[in-house]
Chains A and B, each alone.
Chain A
């Protein structure tokens, strides 16, 4: 058994695949981060992400998967579930070892598992498209914070750019401390330094009508409810509690 340690990025994962084939490794285990521990007795390889090697693997995948299939693989990786890395690796190896496109072979455990992971990631991506709540700042930027379970921010750019082409916006993942910024032209990943920003400054930086619209939205949410049809279980299933702190109507 060889343990391969990589940086957790998609390129890193593809580099890992390259190494596995080059070194003809059979039994492998993946781990994210850097090699710190002396307690590992197995073989350990620290893999340095190499864009050239990753690119070659990517091309190989491109020739064996549909564009949609490749997109799904990327989405599955964004799940960042460490215990699932092995599954994703297994999937890639199955894709390379099979003589034809196997992305729909749901009888295979890797294909099936990948489709499950993709489903949960996409569900959260979709939920973020629904539950992002912008607040308007004084400089007319619309600002939203999120805390998704999976790292879905990279999957959100297109949706929000297509939708809000005429307003500046920032969606910030406060769990992973990075955000996506649209400045009316381009989309960029950014990090904000909150340690220097006094929280009260942020509040007063909201545009004058901001609280009015939040209140109107809360009121609307209440008025739209039909008490005679109350169904708390269904409600909770649709809006899991962990999202509430970002939804004005649930505050």
Chain B
């Protein structure tokens, strides 16, 4: 391998791929078969970039040549940048050698569209196939499907990849029309529908015949960019909800728009990345996936945007004070999960522990709940109950004054910007 050339390619093609926020490498159960290399099971982050994001996969583009011209993308045709392309063998070598050194959990491979969708997709599939069949590689493979690729290629991709994703990019069709006029939503949704049906079909087969090949065992995910177009959080979360419900997506990723290109359809280059908003969207997403919240409970007509200064669960609790206080020693797990300051693990611990005796504040604190927040919303084995007759605004003030949220400072500067 020519060290200089491969280094340059890696720099260019990793740099161009970094805006894709997906990095998960969990959700698959690929075992190491026949003394091969690797397994894909628990999703380990092997390092963290200086911006604090997890690195678990070698995330690269096959090439940053692209026939399209999407406004938000560094690889767009009209952007004057250095271009490069890996060969199939180069990607395979990098993956194997990084994996053997325990740098990564596997490969996340995406690509600019060169020539046409199928031509590009065919190469992505060829890399995955080579890794699996020639190198007995059982690490994680995530392929970004190229919108418009044929069903046959998608089907083959599913045989070798753990996860497939088609990025929606913009939360709404209008947003997409504005910034990526050559793309159309149908081309994105069509393969998602195909994959969904295929995954269901293959899972059924698998339950009947153990030997049936796994098909995209970690399912499919997508990404939406927020802050490039004017959609509200309500629109973003409804889109996410729609895809969770109708396409069985495993994850929706929210990517705060990083201004990389000057274009009058886009926020100016000096606009800061909406980190707090992105974080709130992830919190809201967790509420939908793990805490039993409906999307309508999190955002509605009166509250189309998530609060930037408090998290969405606290926001919901303050709007629904009539649901509280909850008796920690009696309430259902589902209700306990709705208390601000109590996470999934603490909620489960509470439910286990209270079989042995009623819990008081001291024990709750030790179990790991944030008593500072939770105390306004629960009663326990103690006569003390903090809320008295406080109104929602007062509770919010108390909580905010006590918590040193890492976001408060950034939140105010961001608020000033809008």
Residues of A within 8 A of B (CB): 102, 104-109, 112, 126, 129-136, 142, 144, 162-167, 184, 209, 212-217, 219-235, 237-239, 247, 249
- 19 A-B pairs with CB atoms under 8 Å apart are A106-B363, A107-B354, A107-B357, A130-B45, A142-B101, A164-B100, A166-B37, A212-B1, A217-B103, A219-B14, A220-B10, A220-B98, A223-B11, A224-B14, A224-B15, A224-B49, A226-B51, A229-B51, A229-B275
Give min CB distance, B349 to chain A, whole Å: 5
Counting chain B CB atoms within 10 Å of each CB, the highest count among A135, A162, A228, A237 belongs to A228
The 5 closest A-B pairs by CB, nearest first: A234-B52, A229-B51, A223-B14, A106-B353, A238-B48
Q: What is the predominant secondary structure among interface residues of chain B facing chain A?
A: loop
**Which of A136, A219, A232 is close to B101, meaning CB atoms less than 8 Å apart?**
A136
Give min CB distance, B130 to chain A, whole Å: 17
Q: Name B363's closest neighbour in chain A (CB-CB).
A: A107
The verdict on A129 contacting B44 (CB below 8 Å), with A112-B366, A229-B258, A232-B50 known, is: yes
Q: Name A226's closest neighbour in chain B (CB-CB).
A: B51
**Which of A167, A221, A233 is close to B406, meaning CB atoms less than 8 Å apart?**
A233
Which A residues are CB-close (under 8 A) to B249?
none
Give min CB distance, A187 to chain B, whole Å: 14
Q: Name A243's closest neighbour in chain B (CB-CB).
A: B47
**Which of A106, A108, A167, A225 is close to B49, meaning CB atoms less than 8 Å apart?**
A225
Bound Cα distance A115, B354 (Å)? 16
Q: Is B367 an interface residue (CB 8 A)?
A: yes
Within 8 A of A (CB), among B46-89: 46-55, 58-59
Q: Are B52 and A235 in contact (CB under 8 A)?
A: yes
Q: Is B32 an interface residue (CB 8 A)?
A: yes
Bound Cα distance A104, B349 (Å)? 8
Q: Is B292 an interface residue (CB 8 A)?
A: no
Q: Are B353 and A220 in contact (CB under 8 A)?
A: no
Give min CB distance, B19 to chain A, whole Å: 7
Q: Is B190 an interface residue (CB 8 A)?
A: no
Q: Name A250's closest neighbour in chain B (CB-CB).
A: B47
Q: Are B258 and A228 in contact (CB under 8 A)?
A: yes
The verdict on A216 contacting B38 (CB below 8 Å), with A133-B102, A165-B32, A239-B48 known, is: no
Give the size of the chain B interface in residues (CB under 8 angstroms).
57
Q: Are B353 and A107 in contact (CB under 8 A)?
A: yes
Q: Is B213 an interface residue (CB 8 A)?
A: no
Q: Are A230 and B356 in contact (CB under 8 A)?
A: no
Give min CB distance, A141 to chain B, whole Å: 11
Q: Are B100 and A221 in contact (CB under 8 A)?
A: no
The verdict on A133 contacting B103 (CB below 8 Å), with A162-B32, A213-B97, A231-B52 known, is: yes
Which A residues are CB-close (under 8 A) to B59?
224
Which A residues are CB-close (under 8 A) to B200?
none
Q: Name B32's closest neighbour in chain A (CB-CB).
A: A165
Q: Is B399 an interface residue (CB 8 A)?
A: no
Q: Are A134 and B48 in contact (CB under 8 A)?
A: no
Q: Are B52 and A162 in contact (CB under 8 A)?
A: no
**Which of A134, A230, A247 is close to B50, meaning CB atoms less than 8 Å apart?**
A230
**Which of A126, A142, A214 is close to B100, meaning CB atoms less than 8 Å apart?**
A142
Which B residues are CB-close (under 8 A) to A104?
349, 352-353, 355-356
Counting chain B CB atoms within 10 Å of each CB, the highest count among A109, A232, A235 belongs to A235
Q: Is B264 an interface residue (CB 8 A)?
A: no
Q: Are B46 and A105 in contact (CB under 8 A)?
A: no
Which B residues are CB-close (under 8 A) to A136?
100-101
Q: Are A217 and B101 in contact (CB under 8 A)?
A: yes
In addition to A102-B356, A213-B98, A230-B51, 19 A-B residue pairs with Cβ atoms within 8 Å of each other are A104-B356, A107-B357, A108-B356, A109-B366, A142-B101, A166-B36, A219-B7, A220-B58, A221-B49, A221-B55, A223-B14, A223-B18, A224-B53, A226-B51, A228-B259, A231-B52, A235-B49, A238-B45, A247-B47
Q: Is B39 an interface residue (CB 8 A)?
A: yes
Q: Name A103's closest neighbour in chain B (CB-CB).
A: B352
Q: Are A224 and B10 in contact (CB under 8 A)?
A: no
Within 8 A of A (CB), among B1-58: 1, 3, 6-7, 10-11, 14-15, 18-19, 31-32, 35-39, 44-55, 58
Bound Cα distance A106, B98 (Å)? 42
Q: Are A239 and B367 in contact (CB under 8 A)?
A: no
Bound Cα distance A188, B236 (Å)? 53
**Which of A105, A134, A184, A226 is close to B19, meaning CB atoms less than 8 Å apart?**
A226
**Which of B14, B50, B51 is close to A220, meaning CB atoms less than 8 Å apart?**
B14
Q: Are B18 and A221 in contact (CB under 8 A)?
A: no
Bound Cα distance A74, B70 (Å)? 55
Give min CB distance, B409 to chain A, whole Å: 12
Q: Are A163 and B101 in contact (CB under 8 A)?
A: no
Give min CB distance, B362 to chain A, whole Å: 9
Bound Cα distance A159, B366 (Å)? 31
Bound Cα distance A226, B257 (Å)? 12
Q: Are B6 and A216 in contact (CB under 8 A)?
A: yes
Bound Cα distance A212, B406 (Å)? 39
Give min CB distance, B382 to chain A, whole Å: 13
Which A residues are CB-close (under 8 A) to B256?
229
Give min CB distance, A206 to chain B, whole Å: 12
Within 8 A of A (CB), among B147-205: none
Which A residues are CB-close (under 8 A) to B363?
106-107
The verdict on A238 contacting B52 (CB below 8 Å), with A107-B359, A130-B45, A220-B10 known, is: yes
The verdict on A235 contacting B7 (CB below 8 Å), with A164-B100, A166-B136 known, is: no
